[in-house]
Chains A and B, each alone.
Chain A
Amino acid sequence: MSGNKRIMKEFADVQSNPPPGCKITLENEGDMNLWNVVMDAPSDSIYAGGHFKIAIKLPKEYPFKPPVLNFKTKLYHPNVTNDENGSMCLGMLRPDEWKPPNKIADVLKLVRTVLASPQPDDAVEQGIAEQYKNDRKAFEKTAKDWVGKYAK
């Protein structure tokens, strides 16, 4: 499997040169397809100070199929589903947008960008997106509350 080799290579790369604010480990030794990431929210974002656990599942067709991202830490964000999955499906993560040369490091960079600036027009949580657009104060308050509650 060329995919597996590539995953090894990518994993080695992110170990020696981790994407900003990310700590990457394997969920369990010997399974290269389940990555655990702890991401520190960008300091200039409303999530600043929060540490978010993200599970990345690399499908067996990876890199031909996009990885699946789940926030394990609850997060109040229009682009992350507000359920136990905490799924995110944005831009390059979409199956029809995904291109094999994209790497997990690129994906994590995208995640950080989206944390810093939510994309309400591409939201999975319409309610949060509406609030983000129309009542930014309330949105930020809840988001910060949640960071304090779940992401410390």
Chain B
Amino acid sequence: MAEDDERVEELGALEAIFPELKTDHDHFSATLELAVSPSEPLLVRFVPQTSRSSSNVTYAKACMNGSAYVERDVALSHLPPLSLTVTLPDGYPADASPKVHLTTDQAWLPSGKLRELESDAKRLWEEYGGCQILYTYVDHLQQAAERGFDLDQSADGCLILTATAEKELVAFDATTKLAIFNAGTYDCGICLEPKKGLSCYKMPRCGHVFCLQCLQDFYNNAITEGDVGGIRCLDPACGKEAGNADGRKRKRKTERTLHPRELLAMGIEEAKVRRYVEMKRKKKLETDKSTVWCPRTWCQGPAKSAKYPPIQSDLAAYVADEASSDESDAETAPNAQQTNSPAKDTPIALADRLAVCEKCTLAFCRVCYMGWHGEFARCFPRDPNELSVEEKASYDYIRMNTSPCPTCSSPTQKTMGCNHMKCFQCNTHFCYLCGAWLDGGNPYIHFNKQGSQCFQRLWELEEGDQGQDPGDQRGFAGARGWEQLALEVAREADEREAEAAAEAVAHEAQEEVDARAIEHVIALQEPIVLAMAQIHLNEQQAHEEQPRAAQQRRRRNPFPARPPAAGVAQAVRRHERPNGAGNGARVRRRPAVQDEDERQQAELQRFLEMAQRDEEDGWDSDELDGDDGRFVIR
């Protein structure tokens, strides 16, 4: 062929413009790859493969298969290049049009479109009246690519592809973007240094760029400190507008935290990322009221739930939050009402009662918190916060038989001695009866001040705070009065809730009370209530005793061994016993009130002296009881 063949000349010119052009001069053909990067990202809809005919069916199928894989719209900025092969036949350009063949990698461009673009070559050649057309044609293709081949002008408004193509196309888009990004230079807002794109990271959601080093330092630090909320884009303005505009700041805030995939992409160690994911999940579980917790006290793990799937080994695929949180925006609103209230209002369906602890795999019933009893067993709701029988018993015991330290609230039980307590935890001096702080230097003033509610009550409960009659409110008059009240209120509420159960309890309680009452009757030969009433009288009306009460008081206790239930009474009695009571003169007598007071004072005086020498423990009032065990109740 002649050297001045126009075809050689044109190919040469094209080669100069597109250095990547591969030419085959012998056959007058050339191949050129044209990048497809539409100015507006191209919307591509990926549909499951069989869905062409009736998409509804596949939706159903997809759901039944348990796969959440439905149609997905993805905007792609970069698509695999369009490769053009052109062959210039003999007679080109004057008599023959160029032969063009267009293909795309992954065959993403519909063949109809390709043929249309191929035919454009001939059309252009004709329009230009049979002259050299290659450059014009390439330019035409590039412009078409820029417009996304007008695919968004189609009836669907987007390009429709089968789902199988999604992975590769999305990957291509990402790698192209990355390559472009890597080639750039960015100012990191944290270290304030200009960095190459290669050592920077761009937040996929908001596009803010920071250098990898700073991001790693910051997020590693935040994860170590447990600051889950800090794992978000670091740009000061990022996410603020959206949050305020919506008035749903909190929601936005949680949403802004990064996906573990992003942390991994920044080069943060997997162990760290896993810790982040775990902390995040734990936080969510803990704030979700519908979370059911394992009833085993040593476990207390959350029950498995579809809402919070366990963390997969592949963190990049973790979908528990970010991916779903877009939906959950719409989804949680109705859900929230459902999940927050049903525990109380609507009974949980029988089949839904089974809960399995994800930590210890205990299968239990989420209604009664017992081991799983099968779907058909009847069971009654139990509050997960409710204590087990043992816990309740010990809790009740603590409430009934201890007094809290007013400073550190350590439960304190008096096993013996006076009501001046010193906390073993914090060394606070306090009154066992009313919880008042006492002066360590002279704690007994509290019990000697007339008018004080604990006046003359230093030795109440001397034998220890245990085994008293529950009906006796005196021991609890002070610090624990409100607790008793609260207990009472709680008990009443319980009774109203489960009447049947309460009846049984009441019945038992009644029996117990009866049994105790009998005991007391045996023990004291008078109802304890009466005895208590007397002591009250005794205290309040020490100076104006009524003859009748006085008479009753002169009873004898026939039992030398004091029944524990009478601890209070005895403590009071003993402490009010005249000083000389121990010297054998075991005569029933009724001292004059004046005398009595003096004796009391003397006795107290003696005690206080001992107390100041710190020997009050040696003051054994038992000795005053005498050997015959008979003693007088004033």
Which residues from chain A sit less than 8 Å from chain B, CB to CB? 2, 5-6, 9-10, 61, 63-64, 92, 96, 99-102, 106
| In the complex, the 9 A-B pairs of residues with the closest C-beta atoms, listed nearest first | A101-B189, A100-B190, A99-B236, A2-B191, A9-B192, A99-B234, A6-B191, A64-B218, A100-B234
Contacts of A64 in B (CB 8 A): 217-218, 221
Identity of the chain A residue whose Cβ is nearest the Cβ of B233 in the assembled complex: A99
Query: Contact check: which of A92, A96, A101 meets B235 at CB < 8 Å?
Result: A101
With both chains docked as a complex, state the minimum distance between the C-beta of B211 and any C-beta of chain A, in angstroms: 9
- Measured between C-beta atoms, what is the minimum distance from A56 to chain B in Å? 17
Sample of 17 more A-B contacts, CB < 8 Å, known A2-B214, A64-B217, A100-B234: A2-B190, A2-B191, A2-B213, A5-B193, A9-B192, A9-B193, A61-B221, A63-B190, A96-B230, A99-B234, A99-B235, A99-B236, A100-B189, A100-B218, A101-B189, A101-B210, A101-B236
Q: Quick one: CB contact mask for B189-202 with A, threshold 8 Å, 1 for yes?
A: 11111000000000
Task: Give every chain B residue within 8 A of A96 (Cβ-Cβ).
Answer: 229-230
Tell me how far the C-beta of A31 lies from the nearest C-beta in chain B, rounded to whole angstroms: 20
A5 vs B210: C-alpha distance in the bound complex, in angstroms?
16
Instruction: Kindly state the separation between the CA atoms of A131 and B144 in the bound complex, as whole angstroms.
Output: 68
**Contact string against A for B residues 39-71, beta-carbon threshold 8 Å, 1 for contact and 0 otherwise:** 000000000000000000000000000000000
Residues on the A chain within 8 Å of B213, using CB: 2
Cα–Cα distance between A63 and B214 once the two chains are bound (Å): 10
Shortest Cβ distance from residue B121 to the other chain A in the assembled complex, whole angstroms: 52
List B residues 318-345 near A (Cβ within 8 Å): none
Which A residues lie within 8 Å of B192 (CB)? Answer: 6, 9-10
Cα A96 to Cα B253 in complex, Å, equals 12
> Which residue from chain A places its CB closest to the CB of B230 in the assembled complex?
A96
A5 CB contacts on chain B under 8 angstroms: 191, 193
Complex Cα distance A64/B189, Å? 12
Expressed in whole angstroms, the Cα–Cα distance for A64 and B214 within the complex equals 9
| Chain B residues with CB under 8 A of A102 | 236
| Complexed CA–CA distance, A6 and B214 (Å) | 11
Instruction: Report chain B residues within 8 Å CB of A10.
Output: 192
Question: Which residues in A have their C-beta under 8 angstroms from that of B218?
Answer: 64, 100
Beyond A63-B190, A100-B190, is A2–B235 a contact (Cβ under 8 Å)? no
CB neighbours (8 Å) of A106 from chain B are 236
Q: How far is the CB of A105 from chain B (nearest CB, A)?
A: 11
Which residues of the partner chain B approach A61 to less than 8 Å between Cβ atoms?
221
A to B CB contacts below 8 Å, 27 in the list: A2-B190, A2-B214, A2-B217, A5-B193, A6-B190, A6-B191, A6-B192, A9-B193, A10-B192, A61-B221, A64-B217, A64-B218, A64-B221, A92-B236, A96-B229, A99-B234, A99-B235, A99-B236, A100-B189, A100-B218, A100-B234, A101-B189, A101-B210, A101-B234, A101-B235, A101-B236, A102-B236
Interface string of B227-241 (1 = CB under 8 A from A): 001100011100000
CB neighbours (8 Å) of A101 from chain B are 189-190, 210, 234-236
Closest CB in chain A relative to B205 CB, distance in Å? 16
Tell me, in angstroms, the Cα distance from A10 to B192 when the chains sit together: 8
* CA A64 to CA B210, docked complex, whole Å: 14
A134 to B218, CA, bound (A): 43
B 159-203 to A, binary, CB cutoff 8 A, 1 in contact else 0: 000000000000000000000000000000111110000000000
How many Å from the CB of A132 to the closest CB on chain B? 25
Q: How far does the Cβ of B222 sit from chain A's closest Cβ, in whole Å?
A: 8
CA distance A5 to B217 in the complex (A): 14
CA distance A129 to B193 in the complex (A): 41
A100 to B230 Cα, complex, angstroms = 11
Chain A contacts of B214 at CB under 8 A? 2, 100
Once the chains are docked, how many angstroms separate the CA of A2 from the CA of B522? 84
Over the window 388-428 of chain B, the binary record of Cβ atoms lying under 8 Å from chain A Cβ atoms (1 yes, 0 no) is: 00000000000000000000000000000000000000000
Q: How far is the CB of A85 from chain B (nearest CB, A)?
A: 25
Across-interface contacts of A100 in B (CB, < 8 A) = 189-190, 214, 218, 234
Contacts of A6 in B (CB 8 A): 190-192
Chain A nearest CB, measured from B303 CB (Å): 32
Query: Whole-angstrom distance from the CB of A90 to the nearest CB of chain B?
Result: 14
Q: Give CA–CA (A6, B190) in the complex, Å.
A: 8
Residues on B with C-beta less than 8 A from A2 are 190-191, 213-214, 217
A60 to chain B, nearest CB (A): 12
Question: A65–B218 Cα gap in the complex (Å)?
Answer: 10
Interface-centre pick from A6, A101, A106 (highest chain B CB count, 10 A): A101
